[in-house]
Structure 1
Amino acid sequence: MPNQYIRKILEARVYDVAVETPLHPAPFLSERLNNNILVKREDLQPVFSFKIRGAYNNIVQLSEETRSRGVVCASAGNHAQGVALSAHKLGIRAVIVMPTTTPDIKVKGVRSRGGEVVLHGDSFPESLAHALSLVESEGLSFIHPYDDVDTIAGQGTIGMEILRQQTGDLDAVFVPVGGGGLIAGVAAYVKYLRPDALVIGVEYEESACLKAAMDAGERVVLPQVGLFADGVAVAQIGEETFRVCKECVDEVVTVSADEICAAVKDLFDDTRSVTETSGALATAGMKKYVEREKLQGKTLVTIASGANVNFDRLRYISERAEVGEGREAILGVTIPEHPGSFRRFCEKIGKRNITEFNYRYFDDREASIFVGVQMHADTEGRGRLVQDLSDAGYAVDDLTDNEVAKLHVRYMVGGHAPSVNDEVVYRFEFPERPGALLNFLNRVGTRWNISMFHYRNHGAAYGRVIVGIQVPQEERSEIPEFLEDIGYHYWEESHNSAYKLFLG
């Protein structure tokens, strides 16, 4: 039973290295949502993440003899820094195996805390396999990032602090979910002492392994994991963490990349902290839950779990925040191709501010324009705008939720290519490291002609590319095997409305 964790949490040894973080009011969010919002500031830990708690509690429980041989872990970031600092505090060796795609800020963070960094493999599974091989070859103890009783107990001290700091009303606690160590520890403690308070997990919609397991009634492996919120990019919930979550977690909410970006901005506005994407996950889920349930006057706690973000990535987060908050609509609109059309279109937009406008001449009959429009979420939504333009006779395609439009097409609007035949379109994610783009081009361009290509670096551990490839109809059946051999995550976008409207 999860009750076994109460004593382990109370006795967890985390404060040799971790600090009791404050529970800060969020005045702007509270006013806007008409609820009392409190933020648990785990971004203020010495390693800027909650992971230090579980890592230290796990290591310190080892025997002196076991500790003396050293520890090893596989991690792309926050757990790695927690293990490195914990081992340094205890005066033992720590080997940290990280994917070669790990952002430089996290590699430097591990090394600055005394960890021995081994860069191995393009993905976490490859790094994990290498770390486990070091357990066999060098006698190191493996420190699991989430699926370990002592790790879970260490993370559970966050729940203990929340209940100590908030002795009054507490309606719900929102917790980010990756492998489940944090939510298992927090949920076990909160549900034991405050069973009336909801514990709600929040997952990125492209790595929702806990929700998939809860829906299926058993652990499942996601066929593909989105890397946008890399701190929670886990394909399968932990075995022990799922056992606890089944009994103690009330619900799981999933959120989009845009909603996460908007939450990063919300936390900055209220705390002046710049969280990483997974660090703002719980806040994004809290906002979505409040809107869905029409909550008012409730006391809600959200955990800001980490702030290890690459500075270069802030550009992308800032761009997407307005869309995530519903303050920008992205539209594809067809207007007549003759003088004065754009002016008349702007008149139909009314007092709304145009934030972006992309256009290229195609023929003398009509023009397709890519337009961003500033919205005022408190007065009217984009549905009203789309309806107003449709009523005025314009053909409108709402692209606000279209990933291809937001990631690629907005930077590519340059006209159709009528001479290009047999084009199929695919979107890819691949590990971002020196030479990765060239490697991708070499592999994609070996069989068929590339007719369209767009890549943009977002300061993340992965690259995003959209590619048009000319494949004769009689060879289309060979595409799946070809793409699987490349080995990168991919989605077909040949029928995407943004592509067809501006590029196809």
Structure 2
Amino acid sequence: MTDYVKKILTSSVYDVAEQTPLDSMELLSTRLGHDILVKREDLQPVFSFKIRGAHNRIVHLTAEERARGVICASAGNHAQGVALSASRLGIRSVIVMPTTTPVIKVNAVRRLGGEVVLFGDGFDAARAHASILAERHGYVFVHPFDDPDVIAGQGTVGLEIMRQHPEPIGAIYVPVGGGGLAAGIASFVKFLRPEIRIIGVEPEEAASMKAAIAAGKPVPLDQVGLFADGVAVRQVGEETFRLCRDLLDDIITVTADEICAAIKDIFDDHRAITEPAGALALAGLRRDIDNGTAPDGALIAINSGANVNFDRLRYVAERAEIGERAEALLAVTIPERPGSYRAFIRLLGARAITEFNYRFAPGNSARIFVGIKLGNGDTEKREIIDLLASNGLDVTDMTDNEVAKLHVRHMVGGRVEGLRDEMIFRFQFPERPGALLKFLEGLNDAWNISLFHYRNHGSDYGRVLVGIQVPEETREDFFAHIDAIGFPYWNETDNPAYRQFLDRE
């Protein structure tokens, strides 16, 4: 550990890296009752801490090694660090990246002067290919984590935290992929202030360090999830394992939903967008608080990076509410008769409805898929389930059902044999608590609802797609009735999307 402290203190990271701020998470601290801070490595020139270790390794190359050029394998952040460092030093860099790497990271490497080679579905395949190219062409391989100079470079994050926060610190939460950042921070912090807990955080679907510690040696995972691609490592390094095994106080694993909730927390406090791996540590910090195991003193999470594809944010926004236990997803069976929706919504009272999906089915019962905003997490969810059950409704909790969250919620619908006189309308109404109930109150039970789809998108206006059975002879009265409701609407009965996928068989 003493050797690493010396290497950290004499590292050369600040030729290209910045000392990043340690920012308070004021909103989250107030909500959770702890002093929470975040180390903003997303503000580095390459939007990730990886520039530290990459430059500290490359700057130590001999003249002969520099002439040969460097190569690395990376999902993106280490790649950008290598490309920038090599470019500054006038060294050729070849970067092997998995084909699954977000485009934003691939383009960033190219802009920084790196020669990109796309290969394999994950980091391990890319690393194996990079090793082959290094042997074939004589490039110097710059490992993303299992190298003493890289570990020391990452350890400067811990050095900065010690300078920035001399007050009591309960724990520092560090994202773990290959383990370089955790090993570097732990080496410095445990030497200087051994009372501070250093806690590694991994995704449940890529917990390679946890598996290594359980096995007593680095072991390959059978499968690695790619949501948090920055830490999607199948097997940790020998040196990082040795250090993390001895220096980490604990390892926490978290779900993708919890990571999404942490991304939202960082945005709420700092209006900053982080990548999934960047929010990983904060998700672990929140899990520790929820479990009642967080220590006293300041709690610090490393925001390790912000290289996220913009289209990934659609998934993040969809899952963040579930991740912070602020939304329940329920499948509920209600009677198949006019007025059932309104009665169901009345049972829920003033609670905000986030989603409501239904398609007519022959028989006496209707199955609906409903999302409900929660103010008190799982406790309130249980109260809602008990309330519905006590009123004779069959309820299935879908909140943690991956098939329901990923697929079924978007597939409620389809063609119905023998459905007569159906018309399809889009309605728009001001989005506020109780608005959905007001809309349903405005519909008349003389016409049966055969399809209903509503999803709260966080905008000022709610949008509903409704199917209503309107016999030809009543249509004049029907249009007079919906005109009187006063909400803008559009007749979509002839829309080809409806005709091809939802119209009667």
Q: Which bracket does the TM-score occupy, shorter chain normalised?
A: 0.7 to 0.9
Matched residue pairs, number?
A: 417
Which stretch shows the higher mean deviation, 378-387 or 174-183? 378-387
Q: Does 1:226 align with 2:225?
A: yes
Matches within 5 A, 1:405-420: 405-414=404-413
Shift of 1:33: 1.1
Shift of 1:294: 5.9
Aligned twin of 2:252: 253
The question of whether the paired residues in 2 share the 8 Å contact of 1:35 and 1:295 is answered with no
Q: Does 1:211 align with 2:213?
A: no
Match for 1:199: what amino acid? I
Shift of 1:273: 1.1
Q: Separation in 1 of the partners of 2:69 and 2:187?
A: 30
Match for 2:386: what amino acid? Q
The question of whether the paired residues in 2 share the 8 Å contact of 1:202 and 1:285 is answered with yes
SS at match of 1:40: strand
Larger Rg: 2
Matches within 5 A, 1:157-172: 157-172=156-171
Which stretch shows the higher mean deviation, 113-122 or 29-38? 113-122
The question of whether the paired residues in 2 share the 8 Å contact of 1:199 and 1:249 is answered with yes
Q: Separation in 1 of the partners of 2:416 and 2:243?
A: 55
Q: Separation in 2 of the partners of 1:339 and 1:146?
A: 62
Q: Separation in 2 of the partners of 1:249 and 1:125?
A: 24
Q: Separation in 1 of the partners of 2:212 and 2:390?
A: 45
Shift of 1:312: 1.1
The question of whether the paired residues in 2 share the 8 Å contact of 1:34 and 1:297 is answered with no
Aligned twin of 2:73: 74
How much identity, in percent, do the aligned residues show? 60
Gaps of 5+ in 2: 418-505
SS at match of 1:396: strand
Aligned twin of 1:332: 331
Q: What are the Cα deviations for residues 455-492 of structure 1, in whole angstroms up to 9, with x where unaligned?
A: xxxxxxxxxxxxxxxxxxxxxxxxxxxxxxxxxxxxxx
Shift of 1:122: 3.4
Specify whether residues 66 and 296 from structure 1 end up closer, same or farther in structure 2 by C-alpha distance, changes over 3 A only.
closer
Specify whether residues 45 and 296 from structure 1 end up closer, same or farther in structure 2 by C-alpha distance, changes over 3 A only.
same
Q: Separation in 2 of the partners of 1:292 and 1:238?
A: 30
Aligned twin of 1:60: 59
Match for 2:290: what amino acid? E
Q: What are the Cα deviations for residues 88-128 of structure 1, in whole angstroms up to 9, with x where unaligned?
A: 11110000111233222111100111111122233333322
SS at match of 1:351: coil
Runs of 4+ in 1 over 3 A off after TM superposition: 294-297, 415-418
Shift of 1:40: 0.4
SS at match of 2:236: coil
The question of whether the paired residues in 1 share the 8 Å contact of 2:39 and 2:300 is answered with yes
Q: Separation in 1 of the partners of 2:378 and 2:409?
A: 27
Specify whether residues 294 and 63 from structure 1 end up closer, same or farther in structure 2 by C-alpha distance, changes over 3 A only.
closer
SS at match of 1:301: strand
Aligned twin of 1:453: none
Aligned twin of 1:436: none
Q: Separation in 2 of the partners of 1:38 and 1:330?
A: 32
**TM-score of the superposition, structure 2-length normalised?**
0.80
Gaps of 5+ in 1: 419-504
The question of whether the paired residues in 2 share the 8 Å contact of 1:188 and 1:248 is answered with yes
The question of whether the paired residues in 1 share the 8 Å contact of 2:170 and 2:296 is answered with no
Match for 1:142: what amino acid? F
The question of whether the paired residues in 1 share the 8 Å contact of 2:325 and 2:377 is answered with no
* CA RMSD of superposed structures (Å): 1.7
Aligned twin of 2:393: 394
Aligned twin of 1:477: none
Match for 1:88: what amino acid? S
Aligned twin of 2:434: none
Q: Separation in 2 of the partners of 1:389 and 1:380?
A: 15
Aligned twin of 1:502: none
Shift of 1:38: 1.1
Q: Separation in 1 of the partners of 2:169 and 2:298?
A: 5
Q: Separation in 1 of the partners of 2:294 and 2:50?
A: 31
The question of whether the paired residues in 2 share the 8 Å contact of 1:33 and 1:296 is answered with no
Match for 1:189: what amino acid? F
Matches within 5 A, 1:117-156: 117-156=116-155
SS at match of 1:38: strand
Match for 1:269: what amino acid? D
Q: Separation in 1 of the partners of 2:396 and 2:387?
A: 13
Q: What are the Cα deviations for residues 368-423 of structure 1, in whole angstroms up to 9, with x where unaligned?
A: 111101111379531221122122221111111111111111111126999xxxxx
Q: Does 1:96 align with 2:84?
A: no
SS at match of 1:311: coil
Q: What are the Cα deviations for residues 297-320 of structure 1, in whole angstroms up to 9, with x where unaligned?
A: 631111000000111111111111
SS at match of 2:36: strand
